[in-house]
Chain A
Amino acid sequence: YLKCITHDLNRMICSWDATSSANLGLTYKICYTNSEPFLPVCIKTEEKRADIPVTMGSTNIEITTLNASGTPLATETFVLPEENVSLIPLTPQILNLNADFSTYTLYLKWNDSGSVFQHELDASWQIQILRKETMETVTLMNYDSKLTGKDSILSWNWTSDIPLECTSHHVKIRCYINDPYFSGRKEWSEWSPIKTVPGKDTKISNAVVFPQDKVVLVGSDVAFCCLYNEGESIKYMKYGSESYSLLHLSKWSSAIKVQNVSASISSGTNVWCSVLPDNVAGTVLFVGYAPDTPQNLTCETRTFITITCSWNSGRPTGLYRQRQTKYILFERISRENVTCKVDELNKSHHCDFPVHANQKIYSFTLEATNPLGRAESSLLIDVNQRAHLETPDKFTVSTNSSTNAHLSWYIPGNFIQIRLLCQIEISNTNSERQLQNVSMAGAENANYRARVDALHSYATYTFRVRCSASEHFWRWSKWSEGKKLTTLEA
């Protein structure tokens, strides 16, 4: 028989089985004609194979077996139609196989050897992942690409359902080329040599459980494995108080798979294995939620020196300390951001952002992140419309007449940009209350004054004052402390 295969659609390797029984010292003369001017080309070879160009249509082949002295023993002729030629791509080589243990992900790179072909072709790849000592197939996946006549590095990644530390993972690939214009048989290449990412289940110092201190969303499915030493064996493995059936991965590694985990307590859910003769190993799983969208985000300034944004954290994440939600306040116009210091044990938070000279509009985005996700809230403000003054301080009242009083108070902050509206509360001994509004120019860290007229003589009054922005009212400050005054006798 005669079998011809091509790796590159350019040349084919034909091999045959000689009819003659005596094999020693034989040589073969192979003559072929398959392209103009259709003159036979002959090759002498000692092997029962020859390298022949591939052309469209049929190839006429004549193989003569010669003995040691060159005497022809037998001659066979073949007409080889293209259909009888097999296209088998070269065995691919994995360039490198890397692993990211934290994300259980394998990263594979290989060369597609596209330069072997002169024209663009569709290629299919099969990637097989194997595990355990028994080399069990974990998954077999197809990946399509286009060969472009040049070598390209292809890359692909796969995420395991169990930690990569649990046992060794092996990868091999093979290729299939689909040339619509080639009428011969198309077959898969050989599998590539295997590449391995070793697990940690060999030569460990002490029994250990993986993953260590993982953080997952409520409802996740999580796999854990217990690795132990030679001479040790696993008795059982528990998630919290619940025992799970063991999956045997290797001599020193057993796993469990936990479905739909529920929220853990603050210090996390323990996952542990009892190892004979007398050992215990474990890990902790922190099960919680991604951050909620920051709620009731408001931003105001008390002094026009800083803007204070406050918000409510929303649904608790169940995660604390190094896993807690972190907040960053971004301001788009100035492109500045501030990392907020928050007390995770509180639901309401605040964060200060500097007021910039000559910037009125602030476009804030508050970003909340934790190991499980992120959320954000945005707010656009005009700082002049968000003045919430501090409580008036050093409030004094005085009089030198029977009908009016002089009031003075201090407010920290720089209000040069705005006018203030202050409200004076006048209460008399009959608890009758009267409010008077007074508007004044804002100043910086200043004492403000007002006079109240039309008071009764020799009467005792209690005064209080509070202030706000006059234009674009936002909020009143708190009331100052009350101050009593008795007007002079008429």
Chain B
Amino acid sequence: MEVLTVDPANLLSPAASSSSLSQQEVATKIKQTHSLTVLLKHCSEQLLAEYVRHQGEPFSSPDFQPPAMAVPGLPSPSVPPEAWLALSDGKRLWHLAAAYAALPGLLGSVRRQQAELNPLASELHRQLEAAARQCRGLAGNLERIMGALGVTGPPPPSSSLGGPTTGAFLAKLGGYHVCRLHRDWAMRSHEALGLL
């Protein structure tokens, strides 16, 4: 897969936006998306706090730092900040698009698991649903921005969290990692959109 390198200088030049969005619309879309990432950052922090509150110790204790766990389909934003900044806009957008293509499905899986484990936690269910919706929104925006900038998007995600055979602890742990990655990606997307 070959990613077009987009120079910031040409970002809004006519030649670059060959799609239907005009330059002004691309700028507006980027601004809108950046605002969405501000909301996402705030909500993802709240979601992680609400999530751990309902899982019991050790999740709810501040010093709980389980080893990182790979979540199928969801890359972790582990690229160090300097390397992240060194990437081209197109490459950054590509990474964001890959993450936000996977997150709605994963957050949906977590909501289903929490409906089983915590049927009374209606606020947690509501926040999980909202987070999935926001991620879908961001993924849509990213897709349009990337289209306008001529950046090829990532392949569709193959993401799903452990099925019903997973034990309850692994389900809680998996959900914890999804919520934490959701928060980390929200911060990274906020940063990345700020650079466009």
Contacts and interface: CB of A to CB of B under 8 A. Distances in A.
Interface of A: 209, 212-213, 238, 240-241, 264-272, 278-284, 320-322, 344-345
Interface string B117-136: 11111000000000000000
A362 B67 CA distance: 60
B172 interface: yes
Contacts of B121: 266
A238 B173 CA distance: 15
Given A270-B56, A282-B169, 16 more contacts: A212-B167, A238-B57, A240-B58, A266-B117, A267-B55, A268-B117, A268-B168, A269-B56, A270-B58, A271-B169, A272-B169, A280-B173, A283-B168, A320-B119, A320-B120, A344-B119
B116 interface: yes
Contact of B58 (A213, A241, A265): A241
Contacts of A282: 169-170, 173
A344 B115 CA distance: 12
A228 to B, nearest CB: 13
Interface residues of B, number: 23
Contacts of A283: 167-169
Given A212-B167, A238-B58, A270-B57, A284 B120 contact: no
Given A279-B67, A282-B173, A267 B56 contact: yes
Contacts of A322: 116
Nearest to B54: A267
B126 to A, nearest CB: 15
A288 B104 CA distance: 34
Contact of B119 (A212, A272, A345): A345
Interface in B9-37: none
Contacts of B57: 238, 240-241, 269-270
Contacts of A241: 57-58, 61
Nearest to B119: A320
19 contacts: A238-B57, A238-B58, A240-B57, A241-B61, A265-B54, A266-B54, A267-B54, A267-B117, A267-B172, A269-B56, A270-B55, A270-B56, A271-B169, A272-B169, A280-B67, A283-B168, A284-B169, A320-B117, A321-B119
Contacts of B114: 267
Nearest to B53: A265
Contacts of A264: 56
Contacts of B118: 266-267
A270 B67 contact: no
Interface of B: 54-59, 61, 66-67, 114-121, 167-170, 172-173
B66 to A, nearest CB: 5
A156 B9 CA distance: 83
6 closest Cβ contacts across the A-B interface? Answer: A282-B169, A284-B168, A241-B57, A267-B117, A240-B57, A278-B67
A299 to B, nearest CB: 28
A324 B117 CA distance: 11
A26 to B, nearest CB: 70
Nearest to B170: A282
A265 B172 CA distance: 13
A284 B167 contact: yes
A284 to B, nearest CB: 4
A213 B120 CA distance: 19
Contact of A209 (B116, B119, B169, B172): B169
B168 A213 contact: yes
A240 B172 CA distance: 14
Contacts of A209: 169
Contacts of B54: 265-267
Contacts of A284: 167-169, 172
A279 B120 CA distance: 31
A270 B116 contact: no
Contacts of B61: 241
Contact of A321 (B56, B59, B116): B116
Nearest to A271: B169
Contacts of A320: 116-117, 119-120
B165 to A, nearest CB: 10
Contacts of B66: 280
B172 A270 contact: yes
Contacts of A345: 119-120
A284 B57 CA distance: 11
Contacts of B115: 321
A266 B169 CA distance: 13
A393 to B, nearest CB: 35
Nearest to A281: B169
Nearest to A283: B169
B116 A240 contact: no
B58 to A, nearest CB: 6
B18 to A, nearest CB: 48
Q: Which of A267, A284, A320 has the most C-beta atoms of chain B within 10 angstroms of its own C-beta?
A: A267
A141 B169 CA distance: 37
Nearest to A242: B57
A279 B56 CA distance: 19
Contacts of A238: 57-58
A83 to B, nearest CB: 63
A240 B61 CA distance: 10
Contacts of B56: 240, 264-265, 267-270
A270 B59 contact: yes
A270 B167 CA distance: 11
Q: Which of A240, A278, A280 has the most C-beta atoms of chain B within 10 angstroms of its own C-beta?
A: A280
B147 to A, nearest CB: 41
Contacts of B116: 320-322
A211 to B, nearest CB: 10
A371 B115 CA distance: 19
Nearest to B67: A278
A8 to B, nearest CB: 53
A240 B59 CA distance: 9
